[in-house]
């Protein structure tokens, strides 16, 4: 009985405990679900159906459908039914968030069953426009402190005020050597030299620190260091796609010019506002300046070959993040869930960019082109710029962000979010300077048109000289032949002698078909039409050859043969065998401009069997052709068309074959061949003479048109009309000579239907030119590509709005990035998200003061850098204080300086710099990422794309070009291994060691000062001395078997064991945590 009672009491107690444990807490359990899933449509930003869910009271009150809570039948509550879908629809809507999980739905239902209780006095969501980043920037009053040291610099005063409020102690100032290394790496990305260290340590003046900072900010390396920071934020990436076939898919070619613009702008201390304006709209604001228009590489970086909408999505979203700290992305599909941004406002922001496209402007008329695998010929160098190509292109809202469903009923005009001060912007179309829409007329570029034309004249003169020499040579050759005084020539070496046992890419190129080398032969097994390989050079005009091959069973015609006088697959002379199933043949035929002709005299029927090896012996002498098949003469043939110089090719048509051997040897040229060469040379001389006239009149035309264009578009004058008529006449004379040239050239070629059409066209061109010379006009052809003369002005208007002093975001975003890179943690942790879902500033007054100061300094960043690095806060040491760490473990309130790991580029650059091998050449095209161990340029100049990164830099967390507002900082074993095993670290350690001298003690001291920028501690000195003694002995006694190196080192280790021990000590110091860490 007692046990039964005890059991019942225990059960009642457990039931009560479970009930308490299962009690749903509105604030802890329910409200976070509503906030995450429902506030976007039923909160302060929006109240669909007049329903607001940001307080329990408003939830119970309900909206147009009444209260969503039914305490009598909880399962019938509208709130529960819409989250389960039982209402006939489900919330959140599709594409606007994931449905609630079963556990979340159960929590809501249990809360309703338990009475749907909520606390009284619950505050609703605040007006988002009262959020700190939507409010105007206000310059705060600077507090004053008893300790005067914290009053001199407003940064110190504001930081110290917060520490006093929280009763946080702070650490002491860092040593001079620690501060010096810190500021050198922060401002120029390179450590100080021993000379610079000692100079600073010996300078006891009050201006010593400021002198160092002014010097560093004036160095060109400052722009490189901070350029790399901004390149992270602005997503710099060299072009990428498929380099194997030279196909660009992302970014722009020659975008390195934008990188160099960033560096130069920072070194010039160009205002941050102007930098933004030029990146968004340099073509509209400074289109005349070739050094500035490349700033639009910021937009060109977003170019994506396969989908323009992807490019525009990136442009909108990255622009808002980088400059405004606004995460626009979710508004692509629906109204923003946290910030007062509508979906329509997203697409109105897009409308600023809708008309723009990318292009590459010439830097010289002499620049060569290269082939992009799909875009065709592109400039091998140029200016990557953007321009408004489609000013009238409409912008539509995409239903749920899907570009397949644009709302074409409502074209959208450009506009900025109302919550950011989005009054209607004044957008005025901009008349572009001539250099912008007619880029070949840029100063320094237009002059190269004449350079190119003069080169063409020189080339034409050279061609005539060569043609005359060729004619004289063959005339002399014929005279010797006719007189019997011809010199006996040595037996020529074979032009081709191959058994096809291995590939020979220097001889052959594949034009079509899947040719493979296997079993010691060349085989074509895939049946196709005229699979062809051809020699890269022309064959001798008169030759004999022997070819061995066999036709395989695949295919129908099984035609196997060769071409000579091969111009292309449509023009050649040919010999082949056909091992078809009906009647087998050996044949000669010819092809002219794609038309095949099979003379009956060239067809011989003969027996051939699949799989038998066939031997063809062929002689071509002038227009005579003989063909022997397996030792029997089959064909003695006079070629029906003229010979011409060409290549040799092998081909298989509608069959498969295996080639075993080929020998082709030049024959002493026949009199017929020599006479043909004289005829050809005579024609070449005639053509070259006219070619000089073509080139000279082209030069005259270019000069005249250039004068006319400069007068018409750059420096108008009273002579403009006369200059335009002169240009018209000069161009007509050139066209006339070009038509004469074409008629002569075409007349020297075989007369096909296509040739006849070309002759008719050239004759018409000649007559038209003659008529224009008689009746001149003022019309002339442009000297290069031209574009729209008027730009929409949209991007310029947006850029000016973004950089307006009244914009609450831009300056805050900028100084937050500056602060974060100096202190290792920004004032706002979410650097790209200043919205309601982002973090609040740790020091809001400081953030506003810095933003206001940036604007007051005309947006120049060097004064902000100087103020930061000269502050006492920046000069603190990194050591910890227990009491402060207990209160503020993450150093949010800066009671000490943060230590931080060097960025990947700084590690590599510093190693090279300390050894004196770093090449400080600035700018230029990107360097291949795989040359980082060999080429000693700064790391920022090596290719960095999502697909291509220098291996060593990737180990140390180099920037991800897709998104890198803050660098990641990992600590993994292979970072130490990279420094331990890389030739870069080993070889440069050896160079550094050989530059240091003195006793061991002096060497160790110099080594520490060189590598770590400090003297060794006494214990470190002792350990290093022991290392040198023991290591030298270890090296001298070492008789172990050595593993062969994977590659030869740049700098071999010293043979002397004492010096080698010193080299290894330097290498150890490069592995030291104090080297890769900024204290």
Segment 1009-1041, tens digit of pLDDT: 999 999 999 999 999 999 999 988 888 887 676
Band of residue 16 on the pLDDT scale cut at 50, 70, 90: very low
**120 has a pLDDT exceeding 90:** no
pLDDT for position 128: 82
Express each pLDDT in 625-657 by its tens digit: 999 999 999 999 999 998 899 999 999 999 999
d(CA 350, CA 315): 8
pLDDT for position 1: 41
A 10 A CB-CB count for 499 gives 14
DSSP 92: S
pLDDT for position 4: 41
pLDDT for position 488: 65
The closest alpha carbon to 350, from 309, 295, 296, belongs to 309
DSSP 664: E
Tokens of residue 393, six digits: 């292109």
* CA distances in angstroms from 136 to 453, 777, 805, 852, 1044, listed in the order given: 59, 61, 9, 10, 66
Band of residue 66 on the pLDDT scale cut at 50, 70, 90: confident
Band of residue 749 on the pLDDT scale cut at 50, 70, 90: confident
pLDDT for position 423: 67
Express each pLDDT in 404-421 by its tens digit: 999 999 999 999 999 888
Tell me the torsion sign for CA atoms 218, 219, 221, 223: positive
Backbone angles phi, psi at 956, to 5 degrees: -100, 30
Whether the CB-CB separation of 254 and 384 falls below 8 Å is answered with: yes
SS3 letters for 913-940?
Answer: HHHCCCECCCCCCCECHHHCCCCCECHH
**422 has a pLDDT exceeding 70:** no
**119 has a pLDDT exceeding 90:** no
d(CA 9, CA 598): 111
pLDDT for position 512: 95
Q: What's the rounded mean pLDDT across residues 268-273?
A: 98
pLDDT for position 1041: 66
Whether the CB-CB separation of 807 and 325 falls below 8 Å is answered with: no
What is residue 691's three-state secondary structure? Answer: helix
Band of residue 490 on the pLDDT scale cut at 50, 70, 90: low
Question: Which one of 2.160.10.10, 2.60.120.560, 3.40.640.10, 3.60.15.10 gives the CATH number of domain 494-667?
Answer: 2.60.120.560
pLDDT for position 8: 41
pLDDT for position 525: 83
Q: What's the rounded mean pLDDT across residues 172-183?
A: 97
Band of residue 18 on the pLDDT scale cut at 50, 70, 90: very low
Band of residue 1062 on the pLDDT scale cut at 50, 70, 90: very high
A 10 A CB-CB count for 852 gives 18
Least confident range from 62-71, 188-197, 690-699, 957-966: namely: 62-71
Q: What's the rounded mean pLDDT across residues 316-343?
A: 93
* Strand boundaries in 153-300, DSSP class E: 240-242, 247-250
Least confident range from 83-87, 390-394, 1017-1021, 1063-1067: namely: 83-87
Least confident range from 35-44, 381-390, 430-439, 791-800: namely: 35-44
pLDDT for position 486: 74
Band of residue 680 on the pLDDT scale cut at 50, 70, 90: confident
The closest alpha carbon to 277, from 430, 392, 412, belongs to 430
Give the DSSP per-residue string, 575-610.
EEEE--SS--EEEEEEEETTEEE--GGGEEE----T
Domain boundaries, the chain: 21-122, 251-441+789-807, 447-465+675-774, 494-667, 983-1078
The 10 Å CB-count burial string (b at 16+, else e) for 62-94 is bbeeebbbbeeebeebbbbbbbbeebeeebbee
86, 91, 94, 99 alpha-carbon torsion, rounded to 10°: -90
**13 has a pLDDT exceeding 70:** no
Express each pLDDT in 469-488 by its tens digit: 999 998 998 998 888 887 76
d(CA 347, CA 316): 9
**7 has a pLDDT exceeding 50:** no
Q: How far is CA 184 from the centre of its chain?
A: 29
pLDDT for position 684: 92
Give the DSSP per-residue string, 763-809.
HHHHHHHHHHHHS--S----SS----SEE--HHHHHHHHHT-TT-SS
Band of residue 453 on the pLDDT scale cut at 50, 70, 90: very high
Residue with the bigger pLDDT between 586 and 338: it is: 586
A 10 A CB-CB count for 839 gives 13
Least confident range from 63-72, 849-858, 953-962: namely: 63-72
Band of residue 65 on the pLDDT scale cut at 50, 70, 90: confident
Q: N- to C-terminal Cα distance for the chain?
A: 75
d(CA 993, CA 1069): 11
Least confident range from 97-101, 589-593, 741-745, 815-819: namely: 97-101
**584 has a pLDDT exceeding 60:** yes
Q: Does domain 447-465+675-774 have CATH number 1.20.120?
A: yes
Tell me the torsion sign for CA atoms 634, 639, 645, 647: negative
**747 has a pLDDT exceeding 50:** yes
Tokens of residue 42, six digits: 């039923």
SS3 letters for 938-957?
Answer: CHHHECCCCCCCCHHHHHCC
Name residue 626's beta-bridge partners.
Answer: 619, 636
**886 has a pLDDT exceeding 80:** yes
Tokens of residue 967, six digits: 């660098």
* CA distances in angstroms from 168 to 164, 842, 891, 895, listed in the order given: 6, 15, 10, 7
Q: Nearest 5 degrees, angle CA 43-CA 45-CA 48?
A: 65
The closest alpha carbon to 934, from 947, 946, 954, 952, belongs to 952
Least confident range from 315-319, 768-772, 860-864: namely: 768-772
* CA distances in angstroms from 649 to 568, 569, 570, 1001, listed in the order given: 10, 9, 12, 74
**14 has a pLDDT exceeding 80:** no
Tokens of residue 274, six digits: 């102007």
Least confident range from 135-144, 538-547, 1046-1055: namely: 1046-1055
The closest alpha carbon to 128, from 212, 238, 49, 43, belongs to 43
Tell me the torsion sign for CA atoms 472, 473, 478, 479: positive
Q: Nearest 5 degrees, angle CA 1018-CA 1022-CA 1025?
A: 135
Phi-psi region of 566 (alpha: psi -120 to 50; beta: other; left: phi over 0): beta
d(CA 689, CA 853): 71
Whole-number percent of the chain with pLDDT over 70: 97
Model pTM score: 0.84
The closest alpha carbon to 1079, from 182, 273, 116, belongs to 182
Whole-number percent of the chain with pLDDT over 90: 77
The closest alpha carbon to 908, from 954, 853, 946, 974, belongs to 954
d(CA 441, CA 453): 15
Express each pLDDT in 757-790 by its tens digit: 989 999 999 999 999 999 999 999 999 999 999 9
**307 has a pLDDT exceeding 60:** yes
d(CA 346, CA 148): 50
Q: What's the rounded mean pLDDT across residues 174-200?
A: 97
Q: What's the rounded mean pLDDT across residues 315-326?
A: 97
Q: Are β-strands 508-512 and 1077-1078 bridged in parallel, bridged antiparallel, or unpaired?
A: unpaired
pLDDT for position 15: 39
Whether the CB-CB separation of 848 and 139 falls below 8 Å is answered with: yes
pLDDT for position 19: 43
Q: Nearest 5 degrees, angle CA 355-CA 341-CA 302?
A: 35
Round the average pLDDT of the chain to a whole number and report it: 92
The 10 Å CB-count burial string (b at 16+, else e) for 870-888 is bbbbbbbbbeebeebeebb
The 10 Å CB-count burial string (b at 16+, else e) for 125-161 is eeebeebbbbeebeeeeebeeeeeebeebbbbbbbbb
Tokens of residue 702, six digits: 């270019």
């Amino acid at each position: 009985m007692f046990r039964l009672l005890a059991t019942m009491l225990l059960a009642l107690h457990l039931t009560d405990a479970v009930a308490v444990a299962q009690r749903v807490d509105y604030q802890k359990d329910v409200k976070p679900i509503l906030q995450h899933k429902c506030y976007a449509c039923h909160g302060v930003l929006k109240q669909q159906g007049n329903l607001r869910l940001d307080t329990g009271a408003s939830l119970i009150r309900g909206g147009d459908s009444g209260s969503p809570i039914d305490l009598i039948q909880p399962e019938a509550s509208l709130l529960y039914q819409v989250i389960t879908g039982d209402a006939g629809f489900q919330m959140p809507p599709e594409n606007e968030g994931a449905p609630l999980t079963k556990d979340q739905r159960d929590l809501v239902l249990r809360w309703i069953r338990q009475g749907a209780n909520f606390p009284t006095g619950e505050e609703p969501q605040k007006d988002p426009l009262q959020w700190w980043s939507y409010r105007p920037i206000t310059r705060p009053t600077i507090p004053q402190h008893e300790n005067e040291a914290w009053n001199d610099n407003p940064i110190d005063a504001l930081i110290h005020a917060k520490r006093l409020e929280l009763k946080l102690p702070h650490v002491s100032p860092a040593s001079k050597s620690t501060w010096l290394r810190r500021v050198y790496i922060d401002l120029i990305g390179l450590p100080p030299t021993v000379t610079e260290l000692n100079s600073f340590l010996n300078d006891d003046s009050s201006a010593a620190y400021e002198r160092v900072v002014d010097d560093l900010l004036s160095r060109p390396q400052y722009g490189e260091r901070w350029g790399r920071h901004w390149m992270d934020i602005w997503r710099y990436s060299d072009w990428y796609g498929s380099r194997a076939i030279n196909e660009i898919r992302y970014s722009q070619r020659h975008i390195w010019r934008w990188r160099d613009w960033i560096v130069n702008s920072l070194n010039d201390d160009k205002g941050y506002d102007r930098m933004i304006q030029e990146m968004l709209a340099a073509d509209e604001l400074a289109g005349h300046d070739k050094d500035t228009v490349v700033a639009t590489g910021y937009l060109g970086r977003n170019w994506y070959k396969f989908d323009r909408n992807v490019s525009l999505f990136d442009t909108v979203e990255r622009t808002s993040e980088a400059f405004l700290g606004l995460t626009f992305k979710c508004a692509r599909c629906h109204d923003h869930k946290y910030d007062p941004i509508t979906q329509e406002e997203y697409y109105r922001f897009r409308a600023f960019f809708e008309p723009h496209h990318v292009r590459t402007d010439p830097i010289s008329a002499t620049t060569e082109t290269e082939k992009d695998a799909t875009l065709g010929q592109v400039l091998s160098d140029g200016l990557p710029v953007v321009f408004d190509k489609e000013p009238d292109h409409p912008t539509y809202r995409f239903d749920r962000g899907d570009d397949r469903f644009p709302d074409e009923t409502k074209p959208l005009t450009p506009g900025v979010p109302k919550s950011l001060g989005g009054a209607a912007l004044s957008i005025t179309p901009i008349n572009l300077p001539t250099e912008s829409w007619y880029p070949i007329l840029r100063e320094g570029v237009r002059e190269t048109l004449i350079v190119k034309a003069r080169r063409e004249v020189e080339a034409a003169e050279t061609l005539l000289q060569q043609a005359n020499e060729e004619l004289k040579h063959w005339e002399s050759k014929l005279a010797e032949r006719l007189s019997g005084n011809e010199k006996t020539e040595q037996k020529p070496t074979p032009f081709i002698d191959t058994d096809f046992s291995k590939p020979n890419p220097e001889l052959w190129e594949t034009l079509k078909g899947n040719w493979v080398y296997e079993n010691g032969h060349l085989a074509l097994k895939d049946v196709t039409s005229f699979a062809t390989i051809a020699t890269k050079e022309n064959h001798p005009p008169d030759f004999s050859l022997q070819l061995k091959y066999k036709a395989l069973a695949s295919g129908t015609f099984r035609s196997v043969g060769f071409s000579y006088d091969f111009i292309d697959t449509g023009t050649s002379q040919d010999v082949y065998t056909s091992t078809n199933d009906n009647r087998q043949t050996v044949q000669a035929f010819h092809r002219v401009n794609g038309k095949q002709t099979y003379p009956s005299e060239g067809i011989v029927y003969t027996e051939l069997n699949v799989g038998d090896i066939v031997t063809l012996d062929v002689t071509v002498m002038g227009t005579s052709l003989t063909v022997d098949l397996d030792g029997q003469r089959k064909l003695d043939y006079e070629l029906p068309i003229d010979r011409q110089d060409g290549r040799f090719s092998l081909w298989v048509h509608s069959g498969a074959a295996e080639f075993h051997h080929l020998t082709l040897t030049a024959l002493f040229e026949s009199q017929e061949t020599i006479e043909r060469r004289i005829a050809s040379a005579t024609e070449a001389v005639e053509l070259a003479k006219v070619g000089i006239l073509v080139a000279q009149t082209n030069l005259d035309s270019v000069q005249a048109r250039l004068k006319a264009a400069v007068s018409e578009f750059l420096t108008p004058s009273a002579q403009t009309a006369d200059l335009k008529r002169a240009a018209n006449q000069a161009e007509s004379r050139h066209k006339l000579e070009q038509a004469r040239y074409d008629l002569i050239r075409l007349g020297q070629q075989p007369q096909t239907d296509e040739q006849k059409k070309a002759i008719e066209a050239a004759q018409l061109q000649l007559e038209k030119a003659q008529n224009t010379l008689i009746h001149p006009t003022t019309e002339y052809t442009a000297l290069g590509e031209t574009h729209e003369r008027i730009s929409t002005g949209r991007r310029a208007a947006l850029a000016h709005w973004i950089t307006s002093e009244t914009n609450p975001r831009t300056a805050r975003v900028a100084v937050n990035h500056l602060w974060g890179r100096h202190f290792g943690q920004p004032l706002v942790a979410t650097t790209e998200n200043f919205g309601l879902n982002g973090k609040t500033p740790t020091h809001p007054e400081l953030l506003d003061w810095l933003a206001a100061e940036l604007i007051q300094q005309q947006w120049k960043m060097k004064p902000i850098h100087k103020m930061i690095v000269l502050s006492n806060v920046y000069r603190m040491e990194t050591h910890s204080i227990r009491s402060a760490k207990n209160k503020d473990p993450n150093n949010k309130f800066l009671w000490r300086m943060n230590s931080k790991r060097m960025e990947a580029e700084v590690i590599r650059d510093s190693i090279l710099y300390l050894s004196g091998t770093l090449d400080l050449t600035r700018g230029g095209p990107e360097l291949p990422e795989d040359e980082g161990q060999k080429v000693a340029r700064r790391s920022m100049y090596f290719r960095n794309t999502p697909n291509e990164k220098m291996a060593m830099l990737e180990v140390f967390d180099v920037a991800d070009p897709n998104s890198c507002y803050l660098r990641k900082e990992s600590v993994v074993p292979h970072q130490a291994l990279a420094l331990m095993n890389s030739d870069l670290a080993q070889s440069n350690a050896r160079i550094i060691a050989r530059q240091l001298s003195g006793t061991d003690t002096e060497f160790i001291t110099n080594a520490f000062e060189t590598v770590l920028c400090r003297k060794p501690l006494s214990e470190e000195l002792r350990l290093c001395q022991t290392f040198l003694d023991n290591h030298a002995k270890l090296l001298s006694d070492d008789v172990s078997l050595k593993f062969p190196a994977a590659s030869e080192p740049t700098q071999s280790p010293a043979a002397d064991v004492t010096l080698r021990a010193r080299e290894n000590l330097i290498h150890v110091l490069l592995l030291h945590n104090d080297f890769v860490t900024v204290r």
